[in-house]
Chain A
């Protein structure tokens, strides 16, 4: 019993426009900047959340 392939067959399929957007150089350059910003936010949180404790 494995429903995984059934689930895959029912999963949303990206439209041609979505697939084009995923390869479009201008859109992707914008996404490159946006994703990096999100990643830097996570890195920034790291520094804020690092705590201290006596030995």
Chain B
């Protein structure tokens, strides 16, 4: 009998736990440790953020699902890993601080044979003074944040209905943010809602981003064929901004947010301020506050975690210039080299480097989108880790592990540009691979046959279908495992 502990109940962790339970014997134990009581389909938070969905349409309670599936569930925050055990534990274990109301603050320990770290990000609002719901801007990173953003947006729309002009700023709250696609979606959904409310002429909508140019999306932009020509996501995205009348400020690092004003620096070193009535600015991510200790209690966190707090896995982390980056630098099994019974998947693993070319302002400020690794890649990594753990439990040292590098993995993304069964629209995109491979695909780094983009109502329908499909899957309804990641 083996015990697998999954830290995190988001897309990667929840996917891993469900597949593990399906793949392992009943005598094996699967335990999820997460401080959250709810699962959240984060891609639909943008619709909560504009009042098109309620929070309970994008979340559900994890406890009943785990009880039905036979998965152990500790509503707790993992605070430390002891991969070698210690004097009183023969097996490795994790330290926990319980967060369910009945045991809040209680400390605990949980031994494991295999550990999957899918802790996701720490929303690092503190990196930018004044950023976030506790400061002076909104967020859509959680369903709760999105509800607050919706209320603030509605207040602005009400003011416009009374004839008051409003400046609505949407974008990234720091130079090293990721998830530009989510901010892009929210900007266009805000524009759509303002237009639907009949007050578009009173709204100045500004997209403020750390991307070097529009259409970068943290993946260095895309090139695809359209009507017999190669075109770029830059031109395609700029066209959408022109059509919808949204201004954009690129290459920006937000240095601070005060009541009604955001301060930012751009790549040319210029410092500017932008006054706003409503702002939704995403925070940068870092790894959660997790420590690691060896058998004698020495802190080995620096060995297991990158300075960003994300866990180091089977990637090439040696520092090298952008020109020397290779697809092979990216991890393929997501195993921790010194501890092959530990995996880190989804946002929790440390990328070897950015995908977009990193840049510095003339003042030396790093303005570089971090690599996105949410959604489809997160689910694929979660299933991969589950499959490999199951193989290792069944076959021991003779097990063959599967590999799935982001340099050999595609992604399908649907970025909403407004909701409504007849009036909605979305930008549908596929890319293959996520991390460009200039050796395999000289020129653009990606397959032109499998990288494409299209805007239209069909995209909205697809995003809506995916919403219901993935919530069905996450609830482990009949046939859930047949739905691909």
Contact = CB atoms under 8 A, between A and B. Distances in A.
Interface string B448-485: 00101011111101100000000000000000000011
Interface in A8-55: 8-14, 19, 21-25, 27-29, 31-32, 35-36, 38-39, 41-43, 45-46, 49-55
Contact of A22 (B266, B411, B457): B457
Interface in B83-134: none
Contacts of B402: 50-53
Main secondary structure of the interface of A (DSSP, over half): helix
B93 to A, nearest CB: 22
Interface in B193-224: 213-214
Interface residues of B, number: 53
Interface string B385-426: 000000010000101111110001111100000000011010
Given A11-B239, A29-B458, A4 B213 contact: yes
Contacts of A27: 456
A14 B399 CA distance: 55
Given A4-B248, A8-B248, A54-B400, A14 B243 contact: yes
B71 interface: no
* Max count, chain A CB within 10 A of own CB: residue among B404, B412, B422: B412
A22 B456 contact: yes
B412 A42 contact: yes
B422 A52 contact: no
Contacts of A10: 238
B266 A1 contact: yes
Given A38-B452, A53-B403, A1 B238 contact: no
A8 B411 contact: no
A55 B332 CA distance: 12
A9 B462 contact: no
Interface string B60-102: 0000000000000000000000000000000000000000000
Contacts of A36: 462
Contacts of A13: 239, 242-243
A53 B333 contact: yes
B462 A2 contact: no
27 contacts: A2-B266, A10-B238, A11-B239, A12-B235, A12-B239, A13-B239, A14-B243, A23-B422, A23-B457, A24-B457, A28-B456, A32-B458, A35-B458, A39-B428, A39-B430, A39-B462, A41-B450, A42-B412, A42-B432, A46-B404, A46-B410, A49-B404, A50-B404, A51-B402, A53-B332, A53-B401, A55-B401
Interface of B: 213-214, 234-235, 238-239, 241-243, 247-251, 266, 268, 270, 332-333, 340, 380, 384, 392, 397, 399-404, 408-412, 422-423, 425, 428, 430, 432, 450, 452, 454-459, 461-462, 484-485
